[in-house]
């Protein structure tokens, strides 16, 4: 039996090619993902292990730098000296760090979008800091000196002695480059930039003179890390904790693993879809092979093979095909992993060098997935093969395929689809995360249901397409339309591949475009300012930036959005409530953002009163005039009277205060954005003036209206683009599926095609007939997928309604049109080969009955 299975595989190489390709793609994705993430995690692990190599104990302070009352904002110089004095300590380095952006000679941020860090150079008695190895020059020892990591220096083409502009949260300053170094720091090795300041400068900028945020301790030879840890711990203030270097390295590795987990899941998702879609293709191929070999199989039965043996031989054949495909797929996967790694480098995400790691897991996973999926998909065709009666071997006339009733299948399909649809609608009505979860479950059922139901749907849906065919394409179009519905099961299975892919992609497109439009509308409706200023790294702006902007000639309104937190005592119970709010500039805020006051007046902000959002006020039972006893961050208390109540908006915090009220309580204000309205609106001159006022700071971003809209919608577009990769995947497999089906149809209809050729259908039109059939099947799948996708997009959109004001369903007709065109192209592309072979068919062989 094994030999016959093997022979069959060899005899149908071409036919099986599609199956092999489909399995191969899926397996390549699975193994590629696994190998890639293994390699990545190994590289990062060894990297972080290396960077903590000689660290015996690491101390981290949890001090709050924003709190002026904080007595221990970090680790003091005194504590550091005490640690240095301990037995067994070879050296201890104090570290303060924070954001530091380096400008290249053109004023652009080096290493934008990635980690931009600044830290201090802490030389020991030997004048060296063991964390940094200088390849050129030396560490910064004066206030106006800095050192740069080698890659950043290279990117900015800086040499020792050059003047370099560096921005921290404050204004930009120019420093002299004293040295260029390499380090084992993970972020730097992953492509981030690192600036080293003199310790005093770094402390001043990031914390408080005389204080450090971290301490790293290296041990003298022969000292136990754990013992050193025990010795260090008693010296530390309450809000600092110490760990051994090993523990920190492990923690980092853990974080890296988690970070990669998400990536792994996304990639495996792609693989899963590829395999899911592949199942239909494989199943179709084996049905075809079985149909072709009806006589042969019947002969085997006639000479004594049992049904079980027949099934087993088909499964065995599938197993062999699966194994071959998996092996090739695995090799392809390793290549894919290598490609991904170099691909990430292109996005300035440097991955630490390391060997390609191939553990047994991906090897086993690849083989298991490939072989089992193929055998699973071949199981039904195998059973069908076993049902061929021995007498079929004797029948000279083509055994007419008994079209089994689809009643059972349709009933099941209708039921499952209905259940899915009901759950989706239920979830849509419910909203929120729970609703979305139900929609996801419902979507799964609906998709399965539609796939079961797809043969039934083929007739009415294709009937819709048919008029387009018969008109311009005449008799070839008419025959193609009819051929497409001749074997509903096969047409359905073929169309399923496209339907699944397009359901996902359409759903996400609808959602993405809808949400994008809503966000866009929101931004346009709410932002009256011409410009928004923020830090490139998403951090806080310095107060000096606000002052600088206020002084710009032509600035008519300037207001920060400054995050504020205060406590509120609940009357009666004494329970404390934390309130979040924004400090803004009274008067100007209304000119830069839409503040829809429903009660009271926004002018009251200028009088030191507080404004509250409508929903919050309702929830707490507050009205205009309510007095709120608040405690600010510095523990000082005040009573604020509500002067206005405004409509909730995504751009406004639940409470608004004037900066004057807040600033005396905060030393380091958390200024997220500053909105500016300029006389003359958006213009190049205004932009220049603003940038000049900010000192052409590379770390500060100036965004105009369009930039703000892109900021909101941009991420969505990027997500969509990634997801279109998924469509490509589904399309490739769909092409293979359509090729398969057509090849089978052409084979089955040899006689018919021969007759058509004999009575005068020319080759061109025979080709056209086959091509149109492919297009019809593809469009059918696309229509089903798009329909289901729009439904899902609508359902998920409904759950977002509450969270997004101005939500309105937008159908991206342009994209849907593109999907349809792509589906049509899939058909044309897939039919190239089958159409050719149909046209080349020898008429005489086709007409002869024997």
Partner 1 sequence: MTTTTPSGVQTAARTTATAAVAARATDLTKVYGQGETQVVALDGVSVDFRKAEFTAIMGPSGSGKSTLMHCVAGLDSISSGSARIGDTELTGLKDKQLTKLRRDKIGFIFQAFNLLPTLNALENITLPMDIAGRKPDQAWLDTVVETVGLSGRLKHRPTELSGGQQQRVAVARALAGRPEIMFADEPTGNLDSRSGAEVLGFLRNSVRELGQTVVMVTHDPVAASYADRVVFLADGRIVDEMADPTADRVLDRMKDFDAKGRTS
CB of 836 to partner 1, least distance (A): 14
Calpha distance 782→835 (Å, rounded): 21
DSSP character string of 156-188:
HT--TT-EEEEE-SS-EEEEEEEEEEEE--HHH
Among 8, 483, 487, 494, the residue binding partner 1 under the rule CB under 8 A is 483
The contact pattern for partner 1, residues 380-399, with x = CB under 8 A and - = no contact, is: -----------------x--
- Given the rule CB under 8 A, which of 104-112, 479-487, 497-505, 629-637 is the region that contacts partner 1? 479-487
CB of 488 to partner 1, least distance (A): 13
DSSP character string of 671-719:
EEEEEEEETTSS-HHHHHHHHHHTTS-TTEEEEEHHHHHHHHHHHHHHH
Q: How many other CB atoms are found less than 10 A from the CB of residue 348?
A: 14
Q: Which is nearer to partner 1, 275 or 479 (CB)?
A: 479
- Given the rule CB under 8 A, which of 58-66, 83-91, 152-160, 476-484 is the region that contacts partner 1? 476-484
Q: Which is nearer to partner 1, 213 or 757 (CB)?
A: 757
The contact pattern for partner 1, residues 422-441, with x = CB under 8 A and - = no contact, is: --------------------
Kindly tell me the sign of the dihedral angle through the C-alpha atoms of 267, 269, 275, 277.
negative
β-bridge pairing 576-584 and 655-658? parallel
Distances (CA, A) of 482 to 296, 465, 802: 30, 11, 48
Q: Which is nearer to partner 1, 319 or 754 (CB)?
A: 754
CB of 440 to partner 1, least distance (A): 41
CB of 483 to partner 1, least distance (A): 7
Distances (CA, A) of 218 to 93, 211, 242, 383, 747: 9, 20, 13, 69, 76
Show contacts with partner 1 in window 755-814 (CB under 8 A).
755-763, 765
779 contacts: CB under 8 Å, gap ≥ 6: 465, 820, 823, 824, 827
CB of 844 to partner 1, least distance (A): 6
Q: Which is nearer to partner 1, 654 or 754 (CB)?
A: 754
DSSP character string of 238-294:
TTEEEEEHHHHHHHHHHHHHHHHHHHHHHHHHHHHHHHHHHHHHHHHHHHHHHHHTH
- Given the rule CB under 8 A, which of 211-219, 428-436, 473-481, 818-826 is the region that contacts partner 1? 473-481
CB of 407 to partner 1, least distance (A): 19
Q: Which helix (H) or strand (E) holds 562?
A: strand 555-569
Count Cα atoms within 13 angstroms, Cβ side, for 307. Answer: 7
Q: Which is nearer to partner 1, 721 or 845 (CB)?
A: 845
- Given the rule CB under 8 A, which of 225-233, 650-658, 802-810, 842-850 is the region that contacts partner 1? 842-850
Q: Which is nearer to partner 1, 430 or 843 (CB)?
A: 843
Q: Which is nearer to partner 1, 664 or 762 (CB)?
A: 762
| Polymer length in residues for the chain | 850
The 3-state DSSP composition of the chain as helix, strand, coil percent (nearest 5) reads 60, 15, 25
Distances (CA, A) of 184 to 47, 113, 230, 446: 8, 21, 26, 52
Could you identify the residue written with the tokens 């002299």? 176
Q: Which is nearer to partner 1, 569 or 763 (CB)?
A: 763
Question: In the β-sheet with 214-219, what is the strand arrangement from edge to edge?
Answer: 89-95, 214-219, 57-61, 240-244
CB of 7 to partner 1, least distance (A): 25
H-helix segments, 535-620:
543-550, 589-592, 614-620
* Phi–psi pair at 274, nearest 5 degrees: -60, -45
Q: Which is nearer to partner 1, 612 or 753 (CB)?
A: 753
Greatest C-alpha distance within the chain: 104
Among 182, 482, 626, 837, the residue binding partner 1 under the rule CB under 8 A is 482
The two three-digit tokens of residue 171, written as one number: 């204004």
Among 478, 620, 672, 801, the residue binding partner 1 under the rule CB under 8 A is 478
CB of 778 to partner 1, least distance (A): 20
Show contacts with partner 1 in window 71-100 (CB under 8 A).
none
Q: Which is nearer to partner 1, 463 or 722 (CB)?
A: 463
- Given the rule CB under 8 A, which of 2-10, 104-112, 203-211, 475-483 is the region that contacts partner 1? 475-483
CB of 846 to partner 1, least distance (A): 9
Show contacts with partner 1 in window 735-754 (CB under 8 A).
751-752, 754
How many residues of this chain interact with partner 1, rule: CB under 8 A? 25
The two three-digit tokens of residue 606, written as one number: 């200028």
CB of 737 to partner 1, least distance (A): 22
Q: At CA 195, angle to CA 194 and CA 197, rounded to 5?
A: 145
Q: Which is nearer to partner 1, 249 or 742 (CB)?
A: 742
What residues are paired with 580 via a beta bridge?
565
Q: Which is nearer to partner 1, 342 or 396 (CB)?
A: 396
Cα 361 from chain centre: 25
CB 791 within 8 A of CB 424: yes
* Phi–psi pair at 558, nearest 5 degrees: -135, 120
440-448 contacts: CB < 8 A, separation 24 or more? 442/795, 443/507, 443/792, 443/795, 444/420, 445/416, 445/417, 445/419, 445/420, 446/416, 446/417, 446/420, 446/421, 446/788, 446/791, 446/792, 447/420, 447/500, 447/503, 447/788, 448/416, 448/420
Show contacts with partner 1 in window 485-514 (CB under 8 A).
486
Q: Which is nearer to partner 1, 478 or 672 (CB)?
A: 478
Q: Which is nearer to partner 1, 98 or 754 (CB)?
A: 754
Among 364, 475, 722, 817, the residue binding partner 1 under the rule CB under 8 A is 475
CB of 779 to partner 1, least distance (A): 19
CB of 40 to partner 1, least distance (A): 55
Residue 405 in contact with partner 1, rule: CB under 8 A: no
CB of 850 to partner 1, least distance (A): 10
CB of 766 to partner 1, least distance (A): 10
CB of 797 to partner 1, least distance (A): 42
Q: Which is nearer to partner 1, 359 or 845 (CB)?
A: 845
Q: Which is nearer to partner 1, 218 or 487 (CB)?
A: 487
CB of 751 to partner 1, least distance (A): 6
Residue 479 in contact with partner 1, rule: CB under 8 A: yes
Residue 474 in contact with partner 1, rule: CB under 8 A: yes
Using CB under 8 A, list all residues that contact partner 1: 397, 474-475, 478-479, 482-483, 486, 751-752, 754-763, 765, 843-844, 847, 849
């Amino acid at each position: 039996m094994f030999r016959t299975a093997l022979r069959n595989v060899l005899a149908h190489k071409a036919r099986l090619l599609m199956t092999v390709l489909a399995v191969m793609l899926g397996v390549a994705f699975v193994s590629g993902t696994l190998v890639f993430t293994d390699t990545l995690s190994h590289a990062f692990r060894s990297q972080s292990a290396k960077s903590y190599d000689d660290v015996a104990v690491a101390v981290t302070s949890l001090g709050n730098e924003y709190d002026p009352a904080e007595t221990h904002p970090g680790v003091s110089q005194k504590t550091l000296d005490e640690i240095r004095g301990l037995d067994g300590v070879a050296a201890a380095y104090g570290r303060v760090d924070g954001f530091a952006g380096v400008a290249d000679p053109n004023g652009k941020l080096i290493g934008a979008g990635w980690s931009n860090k600044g830290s201090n150079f802490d030389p020991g008695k030997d004048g060296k800091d063991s964390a940094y190895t200088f390849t050129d020059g030396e560490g910064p020892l004066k206030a106006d000196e800095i050192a740069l990591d080698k890659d950043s220096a290279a990117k900015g083409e800086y040499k020792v002695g050059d003047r370099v502009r560096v921005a921290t949260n404050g204004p930009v300053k120019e420093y002299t480059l004293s040295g260029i170094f390499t380090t084992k720091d993970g972020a730097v090795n992953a492509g981030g930039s690192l600036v080293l300041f003199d310790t005093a400068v770094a402390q001043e900028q990031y914390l408080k003179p005389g204080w450090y945020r971290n301490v790293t301790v290296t041990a003298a030879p022969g000292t136990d890390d754990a013992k050193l840890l025990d010795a260090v711990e008693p010296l530390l203030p309450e809000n600092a904790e110490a760990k051994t270097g090993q523990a920190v390295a492990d923690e980092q590795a853990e974080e890296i693993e988690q970070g990669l987990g998400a990536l792994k899941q996304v990639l495996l998702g792609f693989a899963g879809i590829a395999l899911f879609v592949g199942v239909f293709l494989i199943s179709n191929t084996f049905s075809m092979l079985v149909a072709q070999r009806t006589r042969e199989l019947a002969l085997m039965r006639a000479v004594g093979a049992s049904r079980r043996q027949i099934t087993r031989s088909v499964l065995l054949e599938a197993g062999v095909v699966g194994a071959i495909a998996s092996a090739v797929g695995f090799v392809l996967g390793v290549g894919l992993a290598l490609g991904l790694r170099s691909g990430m480098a292109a996005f300035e995400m440097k991955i630490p060098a390391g060997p390609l790691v191939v553990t047994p897991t991906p090897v086993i996973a690849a083989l298991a997935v490939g072989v089992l999926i193929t055998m699973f998909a071949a199981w039904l065709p195998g059973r069908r093969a076993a049902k061929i009666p021995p007498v079929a071997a004797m029948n000279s006339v083509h055994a007419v395929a008994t079209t089994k009733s689809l009643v059972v299948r349709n009933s099941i399909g209708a039921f499952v689809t209905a259940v899915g649809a009901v759950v989706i609608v239920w979830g849509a009505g419910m909203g929120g995360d729970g609703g979305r979860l139900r929609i996801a479950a419902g979507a799964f059922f609906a998709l399965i249901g539609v796939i079961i139901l797809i043969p039934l749907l083929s007739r009415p849906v294709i009937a819709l397409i048919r008029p387009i065919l018969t008109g311009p394409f005449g008799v070839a179009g008419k025959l193609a339309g009819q051929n497409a519905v001749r074997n509903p099961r096969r047409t359905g299975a073929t169309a399923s591949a496209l339907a699944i892919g397009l359901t996902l992609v359409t759903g996400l497109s609808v959602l993405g475009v809808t949400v994008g439009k809503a966000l866009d509308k929101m931004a346009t409706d709410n932002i009256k300012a011409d410009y928004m200023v923020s830090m490139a790294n998403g951090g806080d702006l310095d107060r000096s930036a606000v002052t600088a902007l206020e002084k710009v000639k032509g600035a008519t309104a300037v207001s920060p959005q400054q995050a504020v937190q205060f406590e509120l005592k609940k009357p009666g119970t004494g329970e404390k409530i934390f309130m979040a709010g924004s400090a803004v500039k009274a008067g100007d805020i209304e000119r830069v953002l839409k503040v829809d006051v429903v009660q009271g007046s926004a002018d009251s902000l200028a009088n030191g009163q507080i404004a509250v959002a409508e929903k919050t006020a309702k929830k707490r039972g507050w009205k205009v005039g309510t007095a709120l006893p608040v405690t600010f961050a510095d523990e000082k208390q005040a009573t604020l009277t509500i002067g206005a109540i405004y409509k909730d908006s995504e751009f406004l915090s639940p409470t608004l205060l004037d900066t004057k009220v807040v600033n005396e309580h905060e030393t380091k204000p958390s200024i997220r954005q500053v909105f500016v309205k300029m006389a003359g609106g958006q213009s190049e001159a205004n932009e220049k003036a603003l940038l000049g006022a900010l000192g052409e700071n590379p770390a500060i971003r100036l965004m105009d209206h369009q930039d703000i809209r892109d900021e909101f919608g941009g991420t969505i577009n990027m997500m969509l683009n990634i997801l279109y990769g998924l469509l490509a995947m589904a399309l490739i497999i769909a092409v293979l599926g359509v090729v398969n089906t057509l090849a089978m149809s052409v084979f089955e209809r040899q006689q018919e095609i021969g007759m058509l050729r004999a009575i005068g259908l020319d080759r061109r039109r025979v080709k056209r007939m086959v091509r149109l059939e492919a297009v019809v099947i593809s469009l059918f799948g696309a229509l089903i997928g798009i329909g289901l996708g729009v439904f899902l997009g609508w359902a998920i959109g409904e759950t977002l309604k509450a969270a997004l004001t101005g939500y309105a369903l937008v159908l991206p007709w342009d994209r849907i049109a593109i999907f349809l065109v792509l589906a049509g192209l899939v058909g044309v592309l897939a039919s190239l080969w089958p159409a050719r072979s149909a046209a080349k068919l020898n008429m005489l062989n086709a007409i002869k009955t024997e």
